[in-house]
Amino acid sequence: MGLIKIINEYKKDLINMQKGKIGEAKVDKKLNPILFGKVEHRYIDNLILVDSNNKTHQIDHIEIRHNGIFCIETKNYIGWILGNEFQDKWVQVLFNGEKNQLTNPLKQNKSHVYHISNVIGKKYHVNSLVVMVQNNADKIDCDNVVNLDDLKYYLKKFDDGTYLSTEEMDEIYEKLMNASSKISNKEHVRIIKQTQKELEKGICPRCGGKLVEREGKYGKFLGCSNYPKCTFILNKK
């Protein structure tokens, strides 16, 4: 059942929170303004946003530069990681041959992009980017999943036609900082646990709507009753 799976994944997120902090620190070091030299950018680390339903959303990194806005999710997985953009699960192959399933982090980051867009406005496009701290992204078939060692090059060479002026960069940065919550990690964890309980009752974690069963191209799934305003879905597998 899909709900049971996602609830268990939320619990795993709590357990792995400390491990993730190590990876975030490594990306933070890469993005530190001092190390970028003459590159003009605005950088936000560990931003917590609270939505209209009082749900918290912890975003690892946001990089704002002339060529775009990047919502960066950090993953500190070891071993070989196999997957692509469209899969719900990726496969982790450890060096002893053990295999594990991992939730596709691009799907997690999609929610973060959604909440950033709500703060800064729809006129700005937010790019989703996942950074593999262990430099094991080579077997992941997705352009916006990169190794830590390739992060600077990716950001420098990225070109989708976007150009943000210095004034726009400042505006975006100020909007996000003004929306930032000073909530404690303890309170953030409490809200995540509350979200687990709501999922058990069939409540959408993004907007508070009711999760209803629908039939799609790839089978049955649970979708938010507030679609198309809210596009949260949960595959039933």
Q: Which CATH architecture has domain 18-183?
A: 3-Layer(aba) Sandwich (3.40)
Residue 112 phi/psi, 5-degree rounding, is -65, -45
Question: Can you give the pLDDT at residue 228?
Answer: 85
**CA dihedral sign, ordered 22, 179, 181, 199:** negative
* Contact assessment for residue 176 and residue 62, using Cβ atoms and an 8 Å cutoff: yes
Residues sharing a CB contact under 8 Å with residue 173, sequence separation 6 or more, in sequence order:
42, 44, 64
Question: Can you give the pLDDT at residue 205?
Answer: 77
> Per residue in 63-86, is it b (16+ CB within 10 Å) or e — as a string?
bbbebbbbbbbbbbbebebbbeee
Digit-by-digit pLDDT tens for the chain (237 residues) are 455 655 555 555 555 545 555 566 677 666 665 445 567 899 998 899 988 777 888 899 999 999 999 999 999 999 999 999 999 899 999 989 999 999 999 988 998 999 999 999 999 999 999 999 999 999 999 999 999 999 999 999 999 999 999 999 999 999 999 998 877 666 666 766 777 777 778 888 778 889 998 887 667 788 899 988 888 877 654
Question: Can you give the pLDDT at residue 36?
Answer: 52
Exposure of 51 by Cβ count < 10 A (0-12 exposed, 13-18 middle, 19+ buried)?
Answer: middle
Question: Can you give the pLDDT at residue 1?
Answer: 45
Sheet-wide strand order for 140-141: 99-103, 89-93, 80-84, 140-141
- Enumerate long-range contacts of 178-186, CB under 8 Å, 24 or more apart: 179/49, 179/119, 180/44, 180/47, 180/48, 180/49, 181/48, 181/49, 181/50, 181/56, 183/48, 183/50, 183/56
CA dist list (Å): 169 to 65, 124, 174, 193 = 7, 10, 9, 35
* Contact assessment for residue 3 and residue 202, using Cβ atoms and an 8 Å cutoff: yes
Q: Which residues pair with 101 in a beta bridge?
A: 91
* Calpha distance 187→182 (Å, rounded): 10
Residue whose token pair is 């996000």: 176
The DSSP output letter for 124 is: S
> What residue ranges do the domains of the chain occupy?
18-183
